[in-house]
Amino acid sequence: MAAATAIVALVWVGEVVDRHAAPPASILLNALIAVFFGLMGALVLQGKPRHLVGRLMATAGAVSAVSVLAASWASWLPAAWLSRWLWAVPFGLIFLALLVFPDARLPTKRWRPVAALIIVGSTVAALGMAGAALDHPRDLLAGVDRELTPRAATLITVARLGAVLTIIGLLGAFVALLLRWRRSGGETRQQLACLLPAGAALLLALPLEALGVPGVWLVVAAVVPVAMTIAILRYRLYELDRVVNRSIVWLLMSALLLVVLALALALLRETFVGDSDSTASAVATVVTLLAVGPLRSRVQRVVDRLLYGNRDEPYEVITRVGDLLRRTMDPDSVLPQLTADIADSMQVPYVAVELDEPDDEPRVVAEHGRRAEPVASFDMVAQGKKFGKLLVAPRSEGGRFTPRERRLLEEAAVQAAVAAATIRLMNELQDYQERLIMIREDERHRLRDDLHDRVKPALTGITMKVELAREHVRKPDRVSAVLGEVMENLVRTQADLDHLVSQLRPQALERGLAVALAGRCEEFSGPALSVRLEMRQNLDGLPAPVEEAAYHILGEALNNVVKHANARTCQVTVARDRSLTIEVVDDGVGIGSTAGHGVGLDSMRDRAERLGGTCRVAAAQPRGTSVRVELPIGLVAERTNG
């Protein structure tokens, strides 16, 4: 900061004492390059030592500073000679920095000719003007109508050729930026997107300068280094966020105050015609001082938004997340979009959602950016249940979030938990619907097969026998035999139909669930297995889906005991509270490594989960297996009534 102030002071001192100095606009351009590129290059190198882009920026600023000093003290002949050619060197350095941005490497080896064009072109231009300035150390390219020496004219032609090569290299650097932006992703793409407008402004300055538009290069000299610095340091500057923030605010404030001061002086000199310039200067100074407060607050907000996103507007961040949950219909796109929105709002390099898995390690289901340690984690808790963690990387290596930012991210984690809970419910509902469709299809196929293979042939046989009886109507003995066969077929068909009907709704349930469960236990009880039933509450008035599920689940559980347990006794306990609980405990061989698997267990679990219940299989003490099923009563009743 002190060096920049000294440079500006020396500029104006030299401008006063030296009548041979370059025009003020040229000095101002070089001063801006010196201050902006020099300071920004120093900041980059402080955050990333030996970074090539930082070195190029710092060197461009230093060379411009020397050029400004030389132009300010042009009464000394060596300084005048330096001022006539040294100003061209920084442009080649700036163009080369654009070509290797942001990782300090060429995109590919094929871009080496472009780098060579910039290096050779800028070197030829500078050396050509340096040679020509030996003959014209004070008036070369100064707008003075004076004939050049033959040697100087030739060297200026060579310098112009070098300038053309440098401009071609600038075009190549801009094309390289575009191609990198299209092919890259994550942090690199964001860095390039930040610089592309500045590169376009630099490219556009060439024709605008040719058309005589004033002040074009002054704007570019400020915009390009600021854009490059923000792009490089937004995520990676180690504990220098505050330095970068204040430096950018200072630079922008300096430029704006210079503009305000210049405009005020221009207007006030017209107003105070005849008065001394000191009056206008004093009033202009007061106006500028009054503008400091409002300008600083506005500039600070803009810079904070560029570097930190919406961290100072927490309601806006939460609102964006809430809007996402309302407008997104595809469950698979909610969490990826949510991480992208949080990263964009907070201007952080990495955001991820890590969900807890019931029987496995936590799994990252959505992420945005490239992960860089350390990562801050925020618990995703909703409705008293933890669903996972929201992982967020700080903006800089080793950086930390402020307490205000942590509170904001904790609120975002709650929103992410709500989203995760909603998605989980939607996925479970979809799974249940798919399984329900499959079960219904299986039931339809089974009913079709039973009707086709058993009932239909029986009815066909009855029809044929009735036809045969009609043919033998005059033979009573034969008719009696045929009708007897018809009766047998009708009895079998009726039994088959009763069986099919019982599959749709067990007939045993018509006498109540308690009687039906007792009957189930009697079916499986015998000399080899004693099944005891204990019912602790009245089971009347339960919803039909709960009764059917309980009846079939108990049947499957007892069937598994008979087939696999090799047990002597089996205790069945049925209790009723907010849920209907059925517990089947045997004293058999117990569960093996395949516990929890099999057609019967899957069927029980599916019937329970379809009603929002649970089915757990575990080892019993001291031996055997325990099956515990809980079927919610109130939830099923609400669904049934709804």
- Output the domain CATH number for residue 117: 1.20.1070
Band (4; pLDDT cuts 50, 70, 90): very low
341 CB-near residues (< 8 Å, 6+ apart): 320, 321, 324
Together in a domain, 472 and 597:
no
Q: Same domain for 159 and 107?
A: yes
- Name residue, tokens 């006794």: 569
Same domain membership, residue 203 and residue 220: yes
Least confident of 154-168, 301-315, 385-399: 301-315
CA-wise closest residue to 600 among 633, 627, 579: 627
Q: Contact 236/396 with Cβ under 8 angstroms? A: yes
Q: What is the CATH number for 529?
A: 3.30.565.10
Average the pLDDT over each of 334-343, 350-359, 479-488 and give the range with the smallest value. Answer: 479-488
Are 101 and 167 in the same domain? yes
Same domain, 8 and 45: yes
Residue 192 above 60 pLDDT? yes
Band of residue 1 on the pLDDT scale cut at 50, 70, 90: very low
> Encoding tokens for residue 530?
């004693």
Q: 181 and 34 in one domain?
A: yes
Model pLDDT, residue 557: 93
**Does residue 220 share a domain with residue 115?**
yes
**Mean pLDDT for the chain?**
75
Listed residues 487, 504, 521: the one ending a domain: 504
Q: How many domains does the chain have?
A: 5
The answer to whether residues 212 and 154 belong to one domain is: yes
What is the Cα–Cα distance from 21 to 14, expressed in whole angstroms? 8
CB 619, CB 596: distance < 8 Å: no
- At 427-468, the pLDDT tens digits run 777 777 767 767 766 776 677 677 667 766 777 777 777 776
List the one residue out of 459, 463, 487, 484 whose CA is nearest residue 476: 484
Residue 623 to residue 590: CA distance in whole angstroms: 6
Asked which of 178, 210, 238 is the last residue of a domain, the reply is 238
Q: How far is CA 21 from CA 8, 32, 60, 262, in A?
A: 15, 17, 21, 21
Same domain, 196 and 286: no
Same domain, 33 and 131: yes
For 273, the domain range is: 239-308
Whether residue 187 is found in the same domain as residue 259: no
pTM over 0.85: no
Taking only the tens place, the pLDDT of each residue in 536-594 is: 888 888 888 888 889 999 999 999 999 888 899 999 999 998 889 999 999 998 876 44
How far apart are the C-alpha atoms of 510 and 474, rounded to whole Å?
46
Poorest-pLDDT segment among 166-170, 503-507, 570-574, 622-626: 503-507
pLDDT in tens, 474-502: 666 666 777 777 777 777 777 777 666 66
Last residue of a domain, one of 187, 210, 238: 238
pLDDT at 538: 87
CATH number at residue 345: 3.30.450.40
Maximum average pLDDT range among 288-292, 342-346, 407-411, 457-461: 407-411
DSSP state letters, 331-399? HHHHHHHHHHHHHHHHT-SEEEEEEEETTEEEEEEEEEE---S--EEEEEEETTEEEEEEEEE-SSTT-
Q: In the prediction, which pLDDT does 143 show?
A: 47
Q: Name the residue with higher pLDDT: 243 or 208.
A: 208
Q: How confident is the model at residue 226 (pLDDT cuts 50, 70, 90)?
A: confident
233 and 246 part of one domain: no
